[in-house]
């Protein structure tokens, strides 16, 4: 049974519009149909993905996409913005209420743009920033040499304990005192536990650093009351709207009233031009959905499912990083099944289980990162998580060959399971 009302509504795009697209551009129509089918026929276990509601898709595909709107509501550089201004004001009010934030900026085009704006508001090029090292689950924007962050700032990375996989706060504290960063970033692409925001705040205060929470992953759980909120602790919270939060692809920033103006100017005009008003309207829709009791149930089910899936994968012999999860995220090392993360990902993809590799806290092999946000939106529950673990282990165990007979069998079972939980029934 689907967890949310949204998941039971009719699929988008509207059939009439789609027929027009198909006539005009059959090649692109074919890609969209194929991708829609691919998403429905496999198990989407990429921890950063989800299925937005038809209402969100409708806002995204609306003529608001035509509107230029540089600036902020009531202060735009273009005429005719009265109606899109209303959409942005609604989005801002809803997200402030949802997270109890004094100020919100809903314009960042992505999570990375939100982080760029946060750095621009708080730092100068050459400043030192302490963040989780990329080898342990830090994001590109946490100092990758191939990203603006690594080029413009001096990043110092904290890690996780090789044994427990947990953040070692003594190490964070020691690095902060040694390098005196201007900012400390907490948040990761794969850490399955809650950061201790209070401890991060304390360390930041001791060394006079500001605290940036990059909560792209857990923010949807926070919205649903299934994870602690960074809002009371961090100076600035950056997030995406498209992960567990289940909105359109995009970013957002929450902060106190004291930083409101600096954050707004760091987004526009410093790092972005015109706001994407169709996406902002879709964000408003998603924030409205996230404020419902059904979304709270969803967020708690996401975590319950992840716990069951982590336990079931451990029972299949996989090494579960940190010994479990508090979130939608699970990290596993498939080595005990005789395969590394990279080839496991290939075999799993061939079987229709779509997921990512991730850093391992030890050695230089790769693990597997998976998440339960999308399958939970489809209405899957704890029984299905056990089934997914069985299919996962079958696909990677015993030297199964990509495209081999066994993979084909698993693929058929995956298709049957997914087929019972259509993301867009109707
Ligand atoms: C996903 C993510 C981002 C970036 O989001 P994009 O929308 O892909 O730019 C940034 N930081 C963290 C921790 C993330 O998980």
Q: Is the pLDDT of residue 3 over 80?
A: no
Locate 24 and state its tokens: 């005009």
CATH number given to 293-426: 3.90.1150.10
Q: Is the CB of 369 under 6 A from ligand 1?
A: no
Cα–ligand 1 centroid distance for 366 (angstroms) = 20
Mean of pLDDT over the chain: 94
The pLDDT, as a whole number, for residue 13 is 55
CATH number given to 63-290: 3.40.640.10
pTM of the model: 0.95
Q: Is the CB of 147 under 6 A from ligand 1?
A: no
Q: Do domains 63-290 and 293-426 have the same CATH topology?
A: no
CA 304/CA 306 separation, integer angstroms = 5
The pLDDT, as a whole number, for residue 16 is 76
Q: For a substitution probing ligand 1, which of 108, 139, 252 has the most ligand atoms within 8 Å of its CB?
A: 139
Confidence grade of residue 17 (pLDDT, cut at 50, 70, 90): confident
Q: Is the pLDDT of residue 329 over 60?
A: yes
Q: What is the pLDDT of residues 146-197, one digit of tens each?
A: 999 999 999 999 999 989 999 999 999 999 999 999 999 999 999 999 999 9
CA 280/CA 216 separation, integer angstroms = 17
Positions marked catalytic: 68, 70, 214, 240, 243, 249
Q: Quick one: average pLDDT of 193-202?
A: 98
Ligand 1 atom 1: residue of nearest CA: 216
* Extents of the domains making up the chain: 63-290, 293-426
CA 50/CA 61 separation, integer angstroms = 18
CA geometry: angle 239, 242, 246, nearest 5 deg: 115
- Strands 210-214, 236-240: pairing kind: parallel
Q: What is the pLDDT of residues 249-277, one digit of tens each?
A: 999 999 999 999 999 999 999 999 999 99
Phi, psi dihedral angles at 244 (to 5 degrees) = -60, -30
**Residues in a beta bridge with 356:** 369
Is the torsion defined by CA of 310, 315, 316, 317 positive or negative?
positive
SS3 403: coil
The pLDDT, as a whole number, for residue 2 is 40
Q: What is the pLDDT of residues 145-158, one digit of tens each?
A: 999 999 999 999 99
The pLDDT, as a whole number, for residue 281 is 98
């Amino acid at each position: 049974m689907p967890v949310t009302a949204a998941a039971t509504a009719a699929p988008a795009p509207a059939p009439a519009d789609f027929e027009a697209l198909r006539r005009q551009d059959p090649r692109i129509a074919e890609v969209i149909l194929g991708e829609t089918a691919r998403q429905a026929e496999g198990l989407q276990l990429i921890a950063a993905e989800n299925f937005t509601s038809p209402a969100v898709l409708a806002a995204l595909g609306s003529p608001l996409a035509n509107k230029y709107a540089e600036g902020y509501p009531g202060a735009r550089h273009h005429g005719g913005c009265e109606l899109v201004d209303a959409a942005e004001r609604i989005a801002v009010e809803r997200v402030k209420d949802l997270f109890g934030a004094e100020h919100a900026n809903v314009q960042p085009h992505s999570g990375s743009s939100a982080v760029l704006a946060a750095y621009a508001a708080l730092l100068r090029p050459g400043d030192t920033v302490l963040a989780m090292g990329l080898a342990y689950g830090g994001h590109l924007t946490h100092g990758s040499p191939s990203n603006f962050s690594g080029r413009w700032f001096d990043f110092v990375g904290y890690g996780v304990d090789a044994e427990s996989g947990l953040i070692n706060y003594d190490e964070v504290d020691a690095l902060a005192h040694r390098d005196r960063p201007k900012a400390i970033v907490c948040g990761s692409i794969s850490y399955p536990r809650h950061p201790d925001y209070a401890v991060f705040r304390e360390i930041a205060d001791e060394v006079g650093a500001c605290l940036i929470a990059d909560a792209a992953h857990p923010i949807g759980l926070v919205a649903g009351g299934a994870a602690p909120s960074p809002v009371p602790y961090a100076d600035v919270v950056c997030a995406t709207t498209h992960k567990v939060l289940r909105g359109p692809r995009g970013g957002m920033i929450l902060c106190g009233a004291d930083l409101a103006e600096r954050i707004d100017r760091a987004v526009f005009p410093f790092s972005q031009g015109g706001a994407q008003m169709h996406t902002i309207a879709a964000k408003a829709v998603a924030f409205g959905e996230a404020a419902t009791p059904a979304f709270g149930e969803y967020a708690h089910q996401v975590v319950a499912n992840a716990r069951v899936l982590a336990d079931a994968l451990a029972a299949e012999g996989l090494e579960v990083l940190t010994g479990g999860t508090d979130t939608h995220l699970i990290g596993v090392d498939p080595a005990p099944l005789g395969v590394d993360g990279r080839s496991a990902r290939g075999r799993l993809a061939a079987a229709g289980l779509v997921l990512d590799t991730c850093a391992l806290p030890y050695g230089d092999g790769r693990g597997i990162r998976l998440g339960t946000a999308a399958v939970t939106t489809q209405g899957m529950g704890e029984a299905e998580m056990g089934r997914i673990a069985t299919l996962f282990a079958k696909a990677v165990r015993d030297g199964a060959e990509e495209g081999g007979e066994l993979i084909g069998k698993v693929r058929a079972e995956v298709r049957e399971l997914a087929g019972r939980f259509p993301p867009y029934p109707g």
